[in-house]
Structure 1
């Protein structure tokens, strides 16, 4: 299926996903103008620096430079001072159109080879923007009319990073300066506050601190290793969804991690996305030439199709709902990897439903109901639906106009029946069918794609799927692809950041930690922890012999939801003095009551 890490629609940059803002035309002009001011400042201070490209981006801008030495933090401060001088000179930004020959002549005069390469891809007339009469660049805009419209106190140069020319690792490595620019200082301060909060919540940092997962160079980039605590978290989420699926009639399946290339040729993925698959493993040279071999599976749907196709199905067997937590592999470029949100090996909570055309609407609604139920349990409340439809002007999609209209109609009817908040994303469809994607906004107003549901008439046609209808004729089923989580890796990364590592009791790898005030009370703490574990509560007793204050600080650092302090009074009354991260001190509570409240929190997906 086409998950959020879909081959047809890759998303999520490797860097921290900062808060989304309403990128007004004014901000675009401010940021694009500031990028030019920065490039002019760099070339004044570093005459050997060659400019390449400098666009505005979400929350700011960047410019790439070819320069012998890497920029330093001290250099950024000097560049910022020079930028302020340029801004205060109130230089006009002048737009000029010239012929290709004239542009080439001017570029050669200033010896800017990257501009020559950029020029090759432009059509006449060539647009140039001047900063006063001292500096210019090939650019289509938009820009402000004068540098005096910029507020120096609303501009900041943030960092330096390496970047390859044209994103090609075989070409020159450049120095990229990132900056941000806003309409006023107050906007900059709010952006910086949110950025600091995003860093505080960064799942890569918290994942390491909480001991959930690691990456190892010797294993390879984009391949997370799950520690015991992280594995517990994964298992909790898997078990939760499996239980929900069993209630709704899903059937579990397991499929291999590799498959023949021919399988993906039939589905159409090989022809369209083979560059995004891990290299083929061929048994001999002839097989390699004929592209006949095996690949690590990039999606699960062709495998589930084979299970459906292994027998002639009757209409009485439909809908058939096959479900698998299937690990798939995508050859993401190293620069695109980012913690758990963009990896090379990830597990999709994948299911493929085979339905009759008459069952499509009801089954689609049932799938959406499951996804909404999952979001509610995960406390993911702020989301909207994107109707990811095809772009009718593009030829990248397979299938007839008729089946696309049928598929898109089913999705539109579902969201309208449910009264959901939705918008259309033209061109966001998978190549074989439209999607209903759930876009979640987190505590920092950042947007993430999570669950997805897709209607597919095309793969049943390509794989010649059939069922015996009530009248005895052979008919074609419709497929629904769905993944409420999207992928376990991305979901866990998002949940870590949404909760800032403070998981609700039901999700926490360790739900309760018992803290003996001295070693004399450790046996009682261990006895209670063992009783809790027998009853399905993830509990442990701290046997480190530290003082109570240190035990509490360690538990707080580890973000343990419930702490039970054990001293003489607690042992005598068979109680625990309870302290929680959600509500603070709760006083002395009997062991049985603590256990009952913990079990209630787990069942109700809530805190203690």
Structure 2
């Protein structure tokens, strides 16, 4: 730190202030997280995020949101293993094309493996960097028919990629992350509709978060890289199909080409979001894959009984890395979360000690039917994150603290409120106080959550 003394002309001072480097996205994320207790990192596990209780609430809301959206597009959720023998990665091509970005896992005591004269190499494992080989295994375990297609699988399990330690950065560049991963197995004539559906889902999702799908979202067609699998003719056909869909979905000039930036197994549509600092982040993706179905010998029975038909595979994600999307939302909202995703939706402030039981009763009612006198809470209904602040601080100080922590609604209860059967309600942004019954508050909260507000 140093101090500059002297006299500045007003214009020069303004110009100097404008040219000061802005705080980075990562610094802002950390500052908001420290204030709201959302996540932390530790050197013992570089590139891995500890989501604290309030951060976990946001993370889980993102996952649940996407699970709900996927239902209308016919996705079925699966849960798959984290480690697979290298044989799987050799079959998929990842061991030849992606090995440097993977973590190898080997048991300390190989005597626990049934080697039966096999090479120890066959009993090495790889920590999965992506879900597609596992989903191919699921597809291959059953005889498939044309009338089952498209088969759409989704997966939210954690993935690991061996990023350079120097490149790790907050939530946006990590080694362990989660993805709203999905894979579609379909026939050739179904590709356009499936990709169109995914682009519509991407646009609808970003709009919910107040992200302008025209101004803040860029679509790119990433074409054949230098190192790739398959025939160039197949690649050309796949790239043309993706270009045709992009033309229809985004309009003339609504997308750009990134030459040579495709995945090694197929071309892809990359979706980039611009954050509050003007930095672009890779989020959603749609990848067309003619290679993995060949390598895993995936087949289906056609309408005429032919058993030698190979499905097309489409990889897709909307959020992409949930950790990265979390970071973008931190920048986007600056800690002022919309009610539906806010980890602190409301706080009840009793005016004095004698109002504690009334405040707790309000909290329990707003928590919804998850709080019950029965032994087991039901799996239904709307339930809200509501706290009670019973500290001995003044009401004014507790209101200031609630605003600082980012609560959407501040509810106050005193003698008059108990007498009238109402609660004094204000928001974090407006000082105006209104009086509502607990039932009215609950209905308001339900409407806010239903409408993603």
TM-score by length of 1: 0.66
- Structure 1 residues 323-380: Cα deviation after superposition (integer angstroms, max 9, x where no partner): 1102111112221111111111111111100000011101111111112121111222
Q: Match for residue 259 of structure 2?
A: 426
Query: What is the aligned partner in structure 2 of residue 483 from structure 1?
Result: 317
1:225 and 2:63 are equivalent in the alignment: no
Which residue, 92, 98, 107 being the options, matches 1:273? 98
Judge which range, 510-519 or 283-292, deviates more. 283-292
Provide Cα deviations, 1:288-342, integer angstroms capped at 9, x if missing partner.
8746411111111100110001012100100000111021111122211111111
Query: 1:544: Cα distance to partner?
Result: 1.9
Q: Deviations over 1:474-525 (max 9, x none)?
A: 2111111011110111111111121111110000112111111212222111
Superposed counterparts of 1:296-375, under 5 Å: 296-375=127-206
Instruction: Name whichever of 569-578 and 445-454 sits farther off.
Output: 569-578
Q: Would the alpha carbon gap of residues 550 and 186 (structure 1) be closer, same or farther in structure 2, given more than 3 Å must change?
A: closer
| CA RMSD after TM alignment | 2.4
The SS at the match of 1:543 is: coil
Shift of the 429–187 alpha-carbon distance from structure 1 to 2, 3 Å rule, reads: farther
What's the secondary structure of 1:311's corresponding residue? Answer: coil
1:53-64 mapped onto 2 (5 Å cutoff): none
Give 3-state SS (helix, strand or coil) of 1:405's partner.
helix
Alpha-carbon spacing, 1:199–1:417, altered in 2? closer, same or farther (3 Å): closer
Secondary structure (helix, strand or coil) at the match of 2:234 reads: helix
Residue 375 of structure 2 corresponds to none
SS at the partner of 2:179? strand
Residue 37 (structure 2) aligned to one of 205, 211, 223: 211
**Counterpart of 1:542?**
389
Where structure 1 has 5 or more consecutive residues not aligned to the other structure, the ranges are 1-72, 78-152, 154-183
Aligned match of 1:254: 79
Separation in structure 2 between the aligned mates of residue 269 and residue 480 of structure 1, nearest angstrom: 17
8 Å contact 1:203–1:493 — kept in the other structure?
A: yes
State the partner residue of 1:95: none
User: 2:17, 2:311 → 1: CA distance?
Assistant: 55
Per the alignment, residue 299 of structure 2 pairs with: 466
After alignment, is 411-420 or 484-493 more displaced? Answer: 411-420
Using a 3 Å threshold, how does the CA distance of structure 1 residues 418 and 600 change in structure 2: closer, same or farther? same
C-alpha contact (below 8 Å) 1:388/1:427 kept by paired residues: no
Q: Within 5 Å, which residues of 2 pair with 1:13-52? A: none
Which residue among 386, 410, 413 is the counterpart of 1:566?
413
Distance 2:122 2:139 in 1: 26
Q: CA deviation at 1:571?
A: 1.9
Matches within 5 A, 1:141-152: none
For the 8 Å contact 2:226–2:260, the answer to whether it is kept is no
Partners of 1:458 and 1:187 lie apart in 2 by: 55
Question: Does the C-alpha gap of structure 1 residues 388 and 287 become closer, same or farther in structure 2, counting only changes over 3 Å?
Answer: farther
Q: Establish whether residue 386 from structure 1 lines up as the match of residue 223 from structure 2.
A: no
* Alpha carbons 2:145, 2:300 under 8 Å: kept: yes
What's the counterpart of residue 344 of structure 2? 510
Q: Which residue pairs with 2:271 in the alignment?
A: 438
Number of corresponding residues? 422
- Give me the whole-angstrom Cα distance separating, in 1, the residues matched to 2:140 and 2:19: 53
- Distance in 2 of aligned mates of 1:209 and 1:458: 47
Match of 1:417 among 248, 252, 259: 248
Which 10-residue stretch deviates more, 594-603 or 413-422?
413-422
CA radius of gyration, larger in: 1
261-270 vs 299-308, greater mean Cα deviation: 261-270
Paired residue for 1:264? 89
Richer in strand (by share):
1
| Distance (whole Å) between structure 2 residues aligned to residue 453 and residue 287 of structure 1 | 39
In the aligned structure 2, how far is the partner of 1:576 from the partner of 1:405? 65
1:247 CA drift (Å): 2.1
Cα distance in 2 between the residues matched to 1:399 and 1:192: 50
Distance 2:25 2:76 in 1: 41
Q: Distance in 2 between matches of 1:276 and 1:214?
A: 24
- Pairing of 1:66-215 with structure 2 (within 5 A): 189-192=17-20, 195-196=22-23, 198=24, 202-215=28-41
Following superposition, the deviation at residue 187 of structure 1 comes to 7.0
Maintained 8 Å contact 2:424/2:433: yes
**Structure 1 residue 209, shift from structure 2 partner:** 2.0
C-alpha separation between the residues in 2 aligned to 1:373 and 1:526? 38
Match of 1:400 in 2: 231
